[in-house]
Amino acid sequence: MKSTLGLVFVLLGMFSLDLQAQTARLVHYQGTLLDSDGAPFTGTTDLHFAIYTRPMAQQPIWSETHRNVPVNEGRYEVLLGSENPLSLSFYEYYLEVKAAGTDQPAQRVPIAGSGFNYRMQFLFAAYTIVWLAIFLYLVTITRRQKKIISELELLAQSSSSQVTT
């Protein structure tokens, strides 16, 4: 029983690691880019993205640069995490966007990490542990039931042998 339980936990751990590798770590981001005159920019440009833990923090916890991003009437969209994998949690962060070749000052906007995407492996592990506990409980009940049945059969045999003698 103990070796079976150990094997189940090893397989569960291997499956959880595989699930973590499949979790999407991308964030779709849409933004607006203006030129130095304040008019919507049209063309392609390099965009540098950085995420900070505080509005005035000096060091980003994550950054990546997207090259030749198409911008149409000031609007662009990128998948953050496609160049450098993201690993955010439930906390509030600040995203800074800098465009190459513009003198616009970079502004930081608050964003919130998606707990669903990045904590899915923990949810899966919790459900697996609950189902494993239920399974083991049912196995224990079945074994106890078989033991009780065998004891009742022994009692019945011993009582029937006492009645016949």
The answer to whether residue 139 is domain-embedded is no
Residues of the chain with pLDDT under 50: 18-23
Burial of 132 (0-12, 13-18, 19+ CB in 10 A): middle
Token readout for 80 is 């953050």
The answer to whether residue 77 is domain-embedded is yes
pLDDT at 22: 46
pTM over 0.95: no
Token readout for 117 is 């995407």
Q: Alpha-carbon distance 63 to 84, whole Å? A: 7
pLDDT at 120: 66
The answer to whether residue 54 is domain-embedded is yes
Question: Which of these, 54, 29, 30, 27, lies nearest to 114 by C-alpha position?
Answer: 27
DSSP label at 82? S
pLDDT at 151: 92
Q: What domain range is 102 assigned to?
A: 28-117
The answer to whether residue 151 is domain-embedded is no
The answer to whether residue 56 is domain-embedded is yes
β-bridge partners, 98 = 48
Residue 125 near residue 16, CB atoms below 8 Å:
yes
Strands (DSSP E) found in the chain: 27-32, 43-52, 62-71, 75-80, 92-99, 108-112
The answer to whether residue 89 is domain-embedded is yes
pLDDT at 21: 46
The answer to whether residue 153 is domain-embedded is no
Q: What are the b/e assignments for 93-124, b being 16+ CB within 10 Å?
A: bbbbbbbeeeeeeeebeeeebeeeebeebeeb
Give how many domains the chain has, as a whole number.
1
Question: Which of these, 156, 133, 126, lies nearest to 8 by C-alpha position?
Answer: 133
Question: Which CATH number do you get for residue 96?
Answer: 2.60.40
Radius of gyration of the chain (CA): 30
Task: State pLDDT tens for residues 3-17.
Answer: 555 555 555 565 555
The answer to whether residue 133 is domain-embedded is no
pLDDT at 137: 93
pLDDT at 105: 72
